Structure 1
């Protein structure tokens, strides 16, 4: 922390106007202090080394040295939470690369009236800065482990549901890299991220494994060996297929208290009704409380409930709430999560 226990922030942005606007937002919060600005990723790295900020706010696209360059250098030299600002529709892959390399989170960059949009009271930058300052950003690394597993006879469980928010992309990649390529049950993942990113995230995950990774489509039947990502346009429910013994996906506009599109609670609750004691529910890193109520339903039905432990969670919000409310009594480090899940089967 900086003077008087304020959160120290470095802004890296090539636009002079945006630097001024971001400075105004930061300086309006008395618990945050702007200690410097930089015009590109290289200058940002140099100033970060000198000033040692608690949090870095960086544009994604900058001349010569961009936000991805900055994230790679920062996480290698002196891990520090980096909040990225980006025009999401143009740079999905770059953002996903940055998240995988350890970026804390990202925010949409205003697209039309910059002054009015970015100064709006509901712009969440300062709130995100405060969460980032308390995060365990060093715990983002993924480890590859693609060994096959011998599955003998029928499985004890028939479905795994995973929910994640801030810090989730890296954690999810970590788990998938630990899973055997011959996994014989479906997995559903609800990752809190903008709709435009989910399709790209699914494609990225699909390259990591021989399992099939895709965004769920309404009305499709779950298949073993498939990993389904909940879409960002609706809440995903599971229902019994009236024409077979299978289970199908259904998109709902029903609203949930903690989060929507996708709601982890929605998936967990509907899955618990169908699978009962034959499912595993997992809550990973993230802000807020989404997933705890759904996880309680899974536990009540006799299913296994798991939360990521505090030491390896980038943000110990959702896992903490799940543990504190009794939704789960199992805390597992992310680098052991995949192996633990397979051992349960």
Structure 2
């Protein structure tokens, strides 16, 4: 007899049809138990306090009391991992406000024809619920180190490449705020995120720093003092420009752990371009993406780092990278900026 406790889930969604669809998706896994449903954020808070679910799945936009209200109230009253579902346009930054307030992660809303072929569509809700149930809600609220670090003299490195997944938007925001405004090398980031949100995320990051943040375009020259985000429609690679410098290009080549954007893909190509003159960083996230990339950087003589367990929302990617020897050091996210600057 299996006495293992099932993961209890509360759905907060104003559409009856979507509640049925989500219920069908969750019921496909015997390890998950749906304990209740609510129609808006306020009702969601009331039911959560009553039912104590392990995970909440909530729509972002609902009448009167939305997903942002739910996240804000729950993090005050009873911190529980909250997965948000969004059909918002790419210009809308509400999702990132909710992540900043403490939401665990977000997904594009499932399409209504999904129930016929959940596995075929590879909709990741089940996996995300399981990871959320084991996650550290406290890690979402790690305070950033507000001291702006600075450096003088010649640099030991020519580029920093960062990879992140679940919990990454908050970790990247934290890191970006710590970087000096006179940073004299580029930072290239691959964040696992639906394509439609990456442009919005770049704009948000750009508002948090004096450094210019943008989504990388094909054939673009990588410039010092700039921060580039990999787009979500292809995998980003770097190569040397025959006329000098480093340029970007996209590939449809598939990678084992994750695609569009693949952290391994970006780091592999960066290692070839920068050799021992680069730093690779893997932040919070589920899975193993980034480990092969860090191994390539390490092989070339570069520095490899990963976020520590205490500050990771999901200590999956960093743990695998460190356990395999790909990451040489574990660093708390609130100290990552200072650590990087000290290495330069």
Give the corresponding residue for 1:96.
96
Displacement after TM superposition at 1:49 (Å)? 1.5
What is the count of residue pairs matched by the alignment? 339
Give the corresponding residue for 1:168.
168
CA displacement 1:76-122 (0-9 Å, x = unmatched): 222111111111436731112212222111222234xx1x2245322
2: CA distance, partners of 1:262 / 1:88 = 21
CA displacement 1:224-255 (0-9 Å, x = unmatched): 110000111111111111112x1111111221
SS in 2 for 1:33: strand
1:67 aligns with 2:67: yes
| Closer, same or farther: CA 78–145 of 1 in aligned 2, 3 Å | same
Give the corresponding residue for 2:224.
224
Displacement after TM superposition at 1:73 (Å)? 1.2
1: CA distance, partners of 2:130 / 2:139 = 18
Displacement after TM superposition at 1:148 (Å)? 4.4
| Closer, same or farther: CA 320–14 of 1 in aligned 2, 3 Å | same
Question: Could you tell me whether the CA contact under 8 Å between 2:90 and 2:200 is conserved in 1?
Answer: no
Question: Could you tell me whether the CA contact under 8 Å between 1:143 and 1:177 is conserved in 2?
Answer: no
Give the corresponding residue for 2:325.
326
Give the corresponding residue for 1:8.
8
2: CA distance, partners of 1:42 / 1:130 = 25
Displacement after TM superposition at 1:137 (Å)? 2.0
1:287 aligns with 2:286: yes
1: CA distance, partners of 2:231 / 2:26 = 33
Runs of 4 or more consecutive aligned structure 1 residues displaced over 6 Å after TM superposition: none
Question: Could you tell me whether the CA contact under 8 Å between 2:91 and 2:200 is conserved in 1?
Answer: no
| Closer, same or farther: CA 62–91 of 1 in aligned 2, 3 Å | farther
Question: Could you tell me whether the CA contact under 8 Å between 1:188 and 1:228 is conserved in 2?
Answer: yes
Give the corresponding residue for 2:265.
266
SS in 2 for 1:217: coil
What CA RMSD, in Å, does the superposition of the two structures yield over aligned residues? Answer: 1.6
Structure 1 length-normalised TM: 0.94
Structure 1 segments unaligned to the other structure (5+ residues): none
Displacement after TM superposition at 1:65 (Å)? 0.3
Higher mean C-alpha displacement, 270-279 vs 205-214 = 270-279
1:250 aligns with 2:236: no
